Chains A and B, each alone.
Chain A
Amino acid sequence: MALDRWIALIILLISVAYGYGAYFTMDQLLPPILQRSPIWPSSFPKVLAVGGILFSLIIILGLEKAPRKDQAEDINLSRLGDYNVGQAAMLIGLMIAYAVLLRPLGFLGSTFLFLFIGSFTLGERRYLAMTIVSLIAAVSIWYLVDSVLGIFLRPLPMILTGV
């Protein structure tokens, strides 16, 4: 089964779960006064669940034929091994690490590390240049966001500042 049909299957499951929530769980919680209204919080989701189920079924059953595609620029899934899948996975992991460490490590430290490790992952080995670029970028972006835009970003690790 092609990837797009697997995806449609997953969306079908999401729609069914969503529809179950809309049809069977939401209305019981509704206060009696609201039950006289012609529209309930569950009305619109009920319609959406039906639509989601209908269109994912159309794709799973293959009722709509995919047009021949000849886009050379797009990623060819059958040769996925030729691409830098490892690098992509590592950078995605790095982004997750950044999300988790942003608060405890502070903006400056985590941004520096993100940019440094990011370029390292992509194969850069000029350590001095990497350090300078990451350092300047982290400090200047923090300055821009904090002073010019007035949005607070905690610059230093939590242990050092106590806030």
Chain B
Amino acid sequence: MLEGLLAGLSTAFTFTNIMLVIGGCLIGTFIGMLPGLGPMSIIAIMIPIAITIGDPASALILLSGVYYGAVFGGSTSSILINAPGVASTVATSFDGYPLTRKGKAGKALTVAAISSFAGGTIGAVLLLIFAPALASVALLFHSSEYFALMVVGLSAIAAFAGTGQVAKALLMTFLGLIMATVGEGVLFNSARFTMGLSDLQSGFGFVTIAMAMFALPEAIYLILDPSRSKSADGGENSEIKDLRISRAEARSIAPVIGRQSIQGFFIGVLPGAGATIASFLGYAVERNIAPKKEQEEFGKGAIKGIAAPEAANNAACTGSFVPLLTLGIPGSGTTAILLGALIALNVSPGPRLMVDEPEIFWAVIISMYLGNLVLLMLNLPLIPYIAKVLAAPRNYLIPFILFFTLMGAYIGQNNATELLLLVGFGVCATILRFADYPLAPLLIGFILGPLLENNFARAMQLYDGMSFIWERPMTLGLLVVALLLIVLPSYRARRARLRAEGVADGD
């Protein structure tokens, strides 16, 4: 482990890679502040660039820098103009924006940056401890367990994906899996379901699908509803001054940060939970355990109310790398996109990653830490200048967001058909969003589809049929867990509804 750590250190501390972390964090912060472009879209836009770099370690370092930067940028816009660019920073706006209204935006930003830094750091240390342990267990896994594990991951994502409607989420997962079967697979040398179109021979591009599922619907929502893109010129107190916090304040938030970093990390490790749930839960827990007098402060500008969600969401971001790096299974939309990027770079994440390419594994962990440092030391002092982007008028902003979405899909493929697919799928995704269909399961299904099928096929070939399901206890156990994950929430929701209504409804 020590050798790997040293190899990672020497990879991460090259001039190019440090520049990539700094650049990634800055770009991420800059774009993360804008409405309509969350971390997923930003990472998807950056993937062609990362692939051009070629070296997988550097590419991943750049992308994780962008990820952190984007989350931080999201907190900045929640604090300054009450417009969270990212779902995971909605909880930050509860107390961040009231502080801005009181003219204490600088203090709020500092608390956010310090909490993010501490959350990320504690998360990185926990990752350092847990990832190798999990990877060594995962080395015992065969393709049948991988298959079962991916089924667990997909069911967990469907069970926890937001709206609480499991059937919808599962339908989206299946749709994503169906879309993944279009084109030539690795396993069989024939193209499937291309409907005779040669453009579909290689399947749908995953950057295209990612853009179509997230960036484009958000942009269309922004066009439809102008009130979604509040701009800073209306905020009278959004001027940022005095970034310092007092010693007493630091002492009061320290335990909050400690608790929420650990809690956030473990929530992030779970598939499907992720930074958004971690930040809301962190906020709720801290409000509940605060002394009576402080409880009333929450929502009116309590610094604990900023520290809790910020520490939790950053630790959860780090935590979500655990299943990605050790099992090759993404727990969230963002890590699914990172998985897609890794596959495009010919790296297969999983337990072998630590053994075969330790320098990639460790360089990523170390650069996460560096990324947090960059955010604290570089981005925080620069925030007053970066925040100017919030004043960009909507009429210019939206065409640019649309343009970057198009470019992201075009650069990677150099194929104009991809743009038409992007617009088509984007419109479909917007309609799906109208009707409350969660889109993350679709994307994760799409990215996991080929891996799921390959492992399923390998297990089938090894056991000459489906017998692997009952002959391998671990596979069976995991599949039972997957089933429980799907059945339990709908069962409980049903019971709760029946109890609430008192009578069974007939329609």
Which A residues contact B (CB, under 8 angstroms)?
2-4, 7-8, 11, 14-15, 18, 21, 26, 29, 37-39, 41, 43-45, 48-49, 51-52, 55-56, 58-59, 62-67, 69, 73, 75, 77, 83-85, 87-88, 91-92, 94-96, 98-100, 102-103, 111, 114-115, 118-119, 122-124, 133, 137, 141, 145, 149-152
How many contacting A-B pairs (Cβ < 8 A)?
177
B221 proximity list for chain A (CB < 8 A): 75
Which B residues contact A (CB, under 8 angstroms)?
48-49, 52, 163-168, 170-171, 174-175, 177-178, 181, 185, 187-188, 190, 192-193, 220-221, 223-226, 228, 393-396, 398-400, 402-403, 406-407, 410-411, 414, 416, 419-420, 422-423, 426-427, 431-432, 434-437, 453, 456-457, 460-461, 464-465, 490, 493, 497, 505, 507
**Inter-subunit contact B461/A38 (CB<8 Å):** yes
Give the distance in Å from the alpha carbon of A115 to the alpha carbon of B403 in the complex: 8
B54, chain A: closest CB distance, angstroms = 11
Residue of B nearest to A99 (CB): B419
Contact of A102 among B48, B394, B416, B493 (CB under 8 A): B416
**Inter-subunit contact A91/B223 (CB<8 Å):** yes
**Inter-subunit contact A39/B171 (CB<8 Å):** no
Give the distance in Å from the alpha carbon of A17 to the alpha carbon of B168 in the complex: 20
A2 proximity list for chain B (CB < 8 A): 435
**Inter-subunit contact A59/B395 (CB<8 Å):** no
**Inter-subunit contact A3/B435 (CB<8 Å):** yes
Residue of B nearest to A62 (CB): B507
Residue of B nearest to A73 (CB): B228
**Inter-subunit contact B436/A4 (CB<8 Å):** yes
Give the distance in Å from the alpha carbon of A114 to the alpha carbon of B403 in the complex: 8
**Inter-subunit contact A58/B403 (CB<8 Å):** no
**Inter-subunit contact A48/B178 (CB<8 Å):** yes
**Inter-subunit contact B416/A103 (CB<8 Å):** yes
Residue of B nearest to A44 (CB): B453
A65, chain B: closest CB distance, angstroms = 7
**Inter-subunit contact B460/A39 (CB<8 Å):** yes
A136, chain B: closest CB distance, angstroms = 12
B431 proximity list for chain A (CB < 8 A): 3, 7
A66 proximity list for chain B (CB < 8 A): 165, 436
B224 proximity list for chain A (CB < 8 A): 75, 83-85, 87-88
B403 proximity list for chain A (CB < 8 A): 111, 114-115, 118, 137
Give the distance in Å from the alpha carbon of A83 to the alpha carbon of B434 in the complex: 13
Give the distance in Å from the alpha carbon of A73 to the alpha carbon of B406 in the complex: 26
Residue of B nearest to A83 (CB): B224
Give the distance in Å from the alpha carbon of A102 to the alpha carbon of B490 in the complex: 48
**Inter-subunit contact A48/B416 (CB<8 Å):** no
**Inter-subunit contact B396/A44 (CB<8 Å):** no
**Inter-subunit contact B457/A39 (CB<8 Å):** yes
Most buried by B among A99, A100, A150, A151: A99
B171, chain A: closest CB distance, angstroms = 4
Give the distance in Å from the alpha carbon of A49 to the alpha carbon of B192 in the complex: 14
A119 proximity list for chain B (CB < 8 A): 395-396, 398-399
B460 proximity list for chain A (CB < 8 A): 38-39, 43
